[in-house]
Structure 1
Amino acid sequence: MSLQAKLDAFKADFEAGKPPYSVPSSVIETMHRATDELIASGAATRALKAGDKAPAFTLKDPEGRAVSSIDLLNEGVLVVSFYRGVWCPYCNMELEALQAALPEFEAAGARLIAISPQTAPNSRKSLRQNGLSFPILSDPRNEVAAAFGLRFEMPDYLVELYKGLKNDLPAFNGDPGWTLPMPARYVIGQDGTIRYGEVNPDYTRRPEPEDLLPAIRRAATIAA
């Protein structure tokens, strides 16, 4: 089953209230409203895209080690996935799919990292829960996400909904702000140029990992 098919099946069960999910229709309507408004804002069109230069960054892994994008690019093509956090089931399914595709990425000459605003303990949970062998990096206050044009402020009504659902993002992220990154995937060539960029303000929509392979191979050929 494709990644998107799995996401669609989960969404259908969740919105139908099938066990173990049971949420009022008003919650679903609020989530849809927030997604529709983010789409209508045009935020995704302003994010970095193929042909743009990727900003350099240094972030910490769950053990507190600094990881530099420049160092990673010196080793090969870089695949970067921005995700919301371990609390997001859609993100977890995508991370699992990326893990399954990791051997193909590496065979094509690419390194893979994932970035979220969550704290180190929650990144460690992401690694354990999804059986990941690639680095998860913490992006405090979504500053790197902002440099890529992905950070957005959650509307007040969505903040209230999350609080009501006990989804405490300030605790997850160690940051009093209520911001999130739009989920995004990038393939960055060794010269720092983005060769593939996919940003979707609808967090239930994600590309198949295999969609990145042509761009990875082209970028690896250019580097060679």
Structure 2
Amino acid sequence: MDGSFEGASAPPRADEGYWHRAADRLVATLAALDAGASAPAVGDVFPDLALPDARGRLVGLASLLDRGPVVLSFHRGLWCPWCVGEIESWRGARPALDAAGARLVAVTPELGGRAADMAALLGPAGQVLCDVDFGATLSLGLGFFVGADLIARYQAAGMDLDALYGAASGILPIPATFVIGRDRIVRFAHVDRDFRHRADPADVLSSIAGRG
């Protein structure tokens, strides 16, 4: 799934060419570093994470799996138009997800009420967990350092990552989507260093069909 750099939090459209070139350079760097290669893959046992939800209540993955398979999707935050586009793409697929007995859980490192905003966008049937200080992101091999130049460019465009994430870590997550069965086995994994490419809900649903 591809998107364009749009939305209230996106940089001015006059700079769209710069942002796509910067993204291409970043993706090339991440490829050279083999970033994301150690993330969970199909057939792996997914770690039993425990993260606070948008209301600050600690939620364990095991408790979510008691209700059925989980689609666990790691995001950069609502400032990222591709993350917003991915969440919105699930609206039409929600009936099929519900029929499969699965649940969509989004993970965001954003703080300061932004997780609640994501939960509102996701809708009542979904859930948002907060990856405070990128603990889960790093443990799963999905974190990388953005680099001072790109951080400065984000700030110049009005996006203060330190404020959004509550820490001056300079880390961003590689967006990823996993389908985790009740046995914690990964049934589907989409980990792409290019944050403009996201998992297609149809492919995710296909991996859930006939599995528990």
TM-score scaled by length of structure 2: 0.89
Q: Could you say what the CA RMSD is over the residues aligned between the two structures, in angstroms?
A: 2.1
**Equivalent residue, structure 1, for 2:123:** 132
Task: Find the residue that maps to 1:22 and give its secondary structure.
Answer: helix
One-letter amino acid of the structure 2 residue matched with residue 182 of structure 1: I
1:100 aligns with 2:92: yes
**Equivalent residue, structure 2, for 1:46:** 38
Structure 1 stretches of 4+ with a deviation exceeding 4 A read 24-27
The aligned runs of 1:4-43 (5 Å cut-off) are 4=1, 7-8=2-3, 10-11=4-5, 21-23=13-15, 25-43=17-35
**Equivalent residue, structure 2, for 1:64:** 56
**Equivalent residue, structure 1, for 2:184:** 192
**Equivalent residue, structure 1, for 2:137:** 145
Q: Give the length in aligned residue pairs.
A: 208
TM-score scaled by length of structure 1: 0.85
1:90 aligns with 2:82: yes
1:76 aligns with 2:68: yes
Inter-partner Cα distance in structure 2 for 1:86 and 1:46: 26
Measured against aligned partners, the alpha-carbon deviations of 1:171-215 in whole angstroms (never above 9, x if no partner) come to 111122111110100000111111111100101111210101122
Residue 51 of structure 1 contacts residue 193 of structure 1 at CA under 8 Å; is this kept in 2?
A: yes
1:183 aligns with 2:183: no
State the percentage of identical aligned residues: 32
Give the Å deviation of 1:110: 0.8
Task: Find the residue that maps to 1:99 and give its secondary structure.
Answer: coil
Name stretches of at least 5 consecutive residues in structure 2 with no aligned partner: none
Inter-partner Cα distance in structure 2 for 1:122 and 1:53: 30
Name stretches of at least 5 consecutive residues in structure 1 with no aligned partner: none
Inter-partner Cα distance in structure 2 for 1:81 and 1:113: 6
Q: Does the C-alpha gap of structure 1 residues 175 and 50 become closer, same or farther in structure 2, counting only changes over 3 Å?
A: same
